[in-house]
């Protein structure tokens, strides 16, 4: 198999010793962060929402995330 460049590796494929170098290659500009959020949203949407035979998995994750966030916002001691 061909070697994959460190900058093209996914986070789950990066070894612990390579983590600092991998993070240094990431784009932390506002445009880069916005692009990463957009790619994450698109991946989530296509995997859980935009499916032929849908279920409650994707919607329940959104609701659970909202419940956790509202709990954290309501109780400042957490």
The full DSSP string for the chain is -PPPPGGGS-GGGS-GGGHHHHHHTS--SHHHHHHHHHHHHHHHIIIIIS-SS--SHHHHHHHHHHHHHHHHHH-TT-
Structure tokens at 5: 């460049």
pLDDT at position 14 over 80: yes
| Domain range annotation of the chain | 28-77
pLDDT at position 78 over 70: no
pLDDT at position 18 over 70: yes
Stated pTM of the model? 0.56
Rounded to 10 degrees, the C-alpha dihedral 57/58/59/60 comes to 50
pLDDT at position 76 over 80: no
């Amino acid at each position: 198999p061909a070697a994959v460049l460190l900058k093209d590796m996914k986070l789950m494929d990066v070894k612990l010793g390579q983590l600092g170098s991998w993070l240094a290659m990431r784009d932390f500009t506002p445009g880069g962060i916005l692009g990463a959020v957009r790619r994450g949203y698109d991946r989530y949407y296509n995997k859980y929402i935009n499916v032929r035979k849908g279920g409650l998995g994707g919607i329940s994750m959104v609701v659970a995330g909202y419940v956790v966030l509202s709990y954290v916002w309501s109780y400042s001691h957490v």
